[in-house]
Structure 1
Amino acid sequence: MKNLWKASAIALAATLAACGGETSANGGAATGSVEADTSRNWVEVVTKTEEGGFQMGNPDAPINIVEFASMTCGHCATFAEESFDPLTENYISQGLVSFEVRNFVRDPLDLSAALLSRCRGAEPFFPLNERLFANQEAMFETIQGADQAQLQALATPEALQSGRTFVGFAEAAGLIDLVGSLGVSDQQARQCLADTAAIQELEEMRNRALNQHNITGTPSFLINGELASGVSSWAQLDARLQEMVQ
């Protein structure tokens, strides 16, 4: 991942504040009638999609939402904090909405956090994702206090090829200890952070977002397969959803 391993600690610090963007389409409308389906607890239905994201909810829901998210994006952390309860309670649990998160990695720290959120597969993904976003400010403070020369050394092709890059960033940001409290053992975390197939999957997911959907900022949303313009916060997405379920 040349765009990631060339990042210096200075570039990383600048990246931490750079997220958000506006999309150019209106988002797809729901097709047919929009009716609730409470035949099961859809919040507990979490699967990995063919595109590599993790989806919560009724796979046949009339409204399908995909969020492209970065673990180092402050707007994404705010969206996660504001959206989870109302999204799950008012829409996903009712069978009206399926919600998928696809990682849009932007830097080595982002990729390290993404690897850990995905480390144990589908079922624990959303709790890990939410906890990592809730820890974002502490993560930034911790890594900004780390040895900057060491971080620069980790962001090199040699470090990446040796498998040290993402383990090193996760250690420097305190993420291995954090996910340890959520059921990811130290050994499992380190294995996930060095998993070349998982790293490649995240790179491919980013490339598809760029090439197929023209994603330029995070968070960005697909609604029924189309980019949604003017939607970068929970309030904006909620307003769009309310229009669609009426």
Structure 2
Amino acid sequence: MLAFRADKTLLASRSENLLQRLLLIRADPYPTHFQVTRRSVLGGERHAVPKSSEKQSLQAMEYLMKRREFLTGASALVLFQSPRPVSAQTTIPDLLAPGPLPEKSFGNLDAPVTIIEYASLTCPHCRAFHIDTWPAIKEKYVDTGKVRFIMREFPFDPRASAGFMLARCAGDDKWYATIDVLYRSQDRWARVSDPTTALKSVMGMTGMTGDAVETCLKDQSLLEKITAIAEAGKGFGVDSTPSFFINGKMQKGALTLEKFSEIIDPLVAAAKKP
């Protein structure tokens, strides 16, 4: 199990401004692919930014400088033990080891296939998977008892962390509905100039008040737990979103239903053999 250390004095002295720091940086403005390198920078991630133009390169440099400043000063800064090398064999028991927060899963616990998704709420590819592919997977495999599907947090930026925190604060009965509305309204809050007001507006659709939003986003313990889930994912080799582990084998990218079927169907058939 991952252990972490934090400067309690720093965290306590800055807890009141967590909301402002959490939303300081806009979501990654380069939506073609969300990816980070393996090496953490002060408990955060180094983004691999697409190289397309000098202007974008300058924007990327400014973005990363601001992000480093955020990570240096934010109470979200948590120093983790070094994750396992990517080359280490990932087993299903490793992946299913209890984490700091309850799992959000769908389907039969005894299903022959287990899929674990690591996603970021500000990732356009994750949004596309959630809206276009996930419903079909749920209908074809989850609802029929063939697949257990687990969704895990892997935020790439402070706003994604904020969204995941709000989903957890919404409660178990509203968690999925909150995730759904945040994906579907991604353009309204993930890359706007006033994310606090935008998130309050979006969360109003779930019944959460503006005061409740601010209270949730000041929950340092919850932020640390979500960060720990992402750090554990990096320990399994996750460096882009969405990433899936299908019976322990990693698949990267927003796979189509057809691609999922190519992988899942043989596993289900093998499980039926005596």
Does residue 210 of structure 2 align to residue 186 of structure 1?
Answer: yes
> Does structure 1 residue 233 correspond to structure 2 residue 255?
yes
Matched, 1:64 2:114: yes
User: Structure 2: 5+ residue runs without aligned partners?
Assistant: 1-5, 7-20, 37-85, 270-274
> What is the alpha-carbon distance in structure 2 between the residues aligned to residue 89 and residue 13 of structure 1?
32
Read off the aligned partner of 1:55 and give its amino acid letter. Answer: S
> Could you say which residue in structure 2 is the equivalent of 1:152?
none
SS at match of 1:183: coil
| CA RMSD, 1 decimal | 3.3
TM-score if structure 1 supplies the norm length? Answer: 0.67
Of residues 98, 104, 115 in structure 2, which corresponds to 1:50? 98
Over residues 84-137 of structure 1, what are the superposed CA-to-partner deviations in whole Å (9 max), with x where a residue is unaligned? Answer: 321221111111111111111111111111111222233322221111111112
Task: Give the deviation of 1:206 after TM superposition.
Answer: 1.2
Judged with a 3 Å threshold, the aligned counterparts in structure 2 of structure 1 residues 100 and 14 are, in CA distance, closer, same or farther, namely same
1:197 and 2:197 matched: no
CA offsets per residue over residues 28-49 of structure 1, 9 Å max, x none?
89xxxxxxxxxxxxxxxxxxx8
Change (3 A) 1:16 1:7: farther
Structure 1 counterpart of 2:166, from 109, 116, 135: 116
| Percent identity over paired residues | 23
Residue in 2 aligned with 1:134? Answer: 184
Q: Any conservation in 1 of the 2:33–2:125 contact (CA below 8 Å)? A: no
Equivalent residue in structure 1 for 2:142, among 92, 109, 120: 92
Please, what TM-score do these two structures have when normalized by structure 2?
Answer: 0.61
C-alpha contact 1:17 1:73 (8 A) present in aligned 2: no
- Give ranges in structure 1 of 5+ residues lacking alignment: 30-48, 147-168
Structural mapping, 1:96-107, within 5 Å: 96-107=146-157
Residues 61-104 of structure 1: CA distance to partner in whole angstroms, max 9, x if unpaired? 11111100001111000000112321221111111111111111
Instruction: Between the two structures, name the one with larger relative contact order (CA 8 Å, sep ≥ 6).
Output: 1
In structure 2, the partner of 1:209 is 233
Contact 2:125/2:253, CA 8 A, preserved across alignment: no
Displacement after TM superposition at 1:244 (Å) = 2.7
Post-superposition shift, 1:193? 1.2
CA distance in 2, matches of 1:132, 1:223: 25
Query: Which residue, out of 108, 116, 124, partners 1:74?
Result: 124
Q: Following TM superposition, by how much is the alpha carbon of 1:205 offset from its aligned partner in structure 2, in angstroms? A: 0.7
Q: Secondary structure at 1:222's aligned position in 2?
A: strand
CA contact (8 A) 2:120 2:160 kept: yes
Count of matched residue positions in the alignment of Structure 1 and Structure 2: 195
State the secondary structure of the residue aligned to 2:108: coil
Deviations 1:149-208 (A, max 9, x none): xxxxxxxxxxxxxxxxxxxx4x14x11221221132333322221111110101111111
